Amino acid sequence: MIPLEIELKWRLDADGHAELQRRISELLGQPHVLEQTNRFFDSSDGRLRAARRSVRLRRENARVILTCKARGSVDSLGTHRHDEWERELPAAAWDVVPTELPEEWSAALAGAPLRDFGGFANHRLEWHDGPHLLCLDRSDFGGPIDHELEIETPQPQAAHERWSAQLTSWGIAWTPQPATKLQRYLAIVELRNRQ
């Protein structure tokens, strides 16, 4: 059984991101800092994307994590629901194309080899707020910089009520982010390829 991940994704501007970092740190203490580098894989003919699936290697500080996601649903509040399978790998796995995938991902590939099609860097600050994990992200897509608050939670309605009210009281503007980081990265790559 592959777990369901539920997270709110909210877009911020650079000033809002900086102010939110200050405000959350005052409220919840200093964050856990993660420097993340992401690499994505698919077959050369995009079989995983066609099946609404993805494979990602992430170097996160000293750890290497293999993540397989199946795209699910997104609502108007920016609540994303998707299946997510993860496994920590040895550090040397960063330089190797992943081969051991869950059955559904292997079936979607139907024997086609994976290839690395790029990635991006992310600076993440994490705080725990009861059942909610707050992730304040600054993502560098190789030109454009995105700012985002992700809230991983088993209680999305409660998280939305608490944190939308909190950001409003602090005067921090946000909007729901309907696209995942992978979708935004792919849109940037597609735009570059057209130019």
- pLDDT tens digits, one per residue of 84-129: 999 999 999 999 999 999 999 999 999 999 999 999 999 999 999 9
Domain with 89, as residue range(s), is 4-194
Euclidean distance between CA atoms 132 and 81, whole angstroms: 15
- The confidence score (pLDDT) of residue 48 equals 97
In CATH, what number is assigned to the domain containing residue 90? Answer: 2.40.320.10
Number of domains in the chain: 1
User: pLDDT > 90: what percent of the chain?
Assistant: 92
Instruction: Out of 41-55, 73-87, 179-193, pick the least confident.
Output: 179-193
Q: What is the pLDDT of residues 155-176, one digit of tens each?
A: 999 999 999 999 999 999 999 9
- Alpha helices by DSSP H, the chain: 14-28, 47-50, 103-109, 156-169, 181-194
pLDDT > 70 in the chain, percent: 100
d(CA 55, CA 148): 22
Tens of pLDDT, residues 132-148: 999 999 999 988 899 99
The whole-model pTM stands at 0.94
